[in-house]
Amino acid sequence: MTGRLIVLTGPSGVGKGTLLKALLARHPELYLSVSATTRSPREGEVEGVHYYFYTRDRFDRMIEAGALLEWAEFAGNYYGTPIDPVRSQLVQGKSIILEIELAGARQVAKIFPDAGRIFILPPDLTTLETRIRERGTDSAEAIMRRLEQAQVEIAAQHEFEYRIVNDDFETALDELDRLVTQKN
């Protein structure tokens, strides 16, 4: 596998994180970019593993220093991709996966037109809403914002070269595996 930049996007609650965890268990050679965010950690989230949890000040300084490949505001918080690990993975001929929302995916598509862009879809909106609510970690307001944003993202699914419906988990995982590990 040569070094490829892969962007994975899809509405909150669609199961991107679970799919990626299973993909990385199958392919330990793949590297998942760790984003910076101003949102508070959820229970069980570990600094430097799930995210770098930064203050708004520190996040702004990273933007000013040009240390983020892309960044966006999502449901009231800021999220961004540190540029250094992306560079070093690609320079070494290794692949890197970015799990980012729509605005960030659009920025990356401009900078890296060859990036593989994959969109994960829920079977339907009701299933998505149930998944977001059942996660039980977000406030009612955050849930509402995430659901609104989900509709905006789903409407943009055709901007992505590949789309996977996360209905049956194993089927979705196999499809993701095939796309990510396919030879160029």
Interface residues toward ligand 5GP, by CB under 6 A: 12, 35, 39, 70, 72, 74, 79-81, 99-101, 103-104
Q: Which of 54, 79 has the CB closer to ligand 5GP?
A: 79
Task: Answer yes or no: are the C-beta atoms of 32 and 18 closer than 8 Å.
Answer: no
Q: Which of 99, 175 has the CB closer to ligand 5GP?
A: 99
Least distance from ligand 5GP to the Cβ atom of residue 11, Å: 7
Sequence-ordered list of residues with C-beta below 8 angstroms from that of 85, at least 6 positions apart, any chain: 31, 33, 34, 96
Least distance from ligand 5GP to the Cβ atom of residue 101, Å: 4
Least distance from ligand 5GP to the Cβ atom of residue 145, Å: 10
Residue showing the smallest CB distance to ligand 5GP in the complex: 104
Q: Which of 70, 175 has the CB closer to ligand 5GP?
A: 70
Least distance from ligand 5GP to the Cβ atom of residue 87, Å: 15
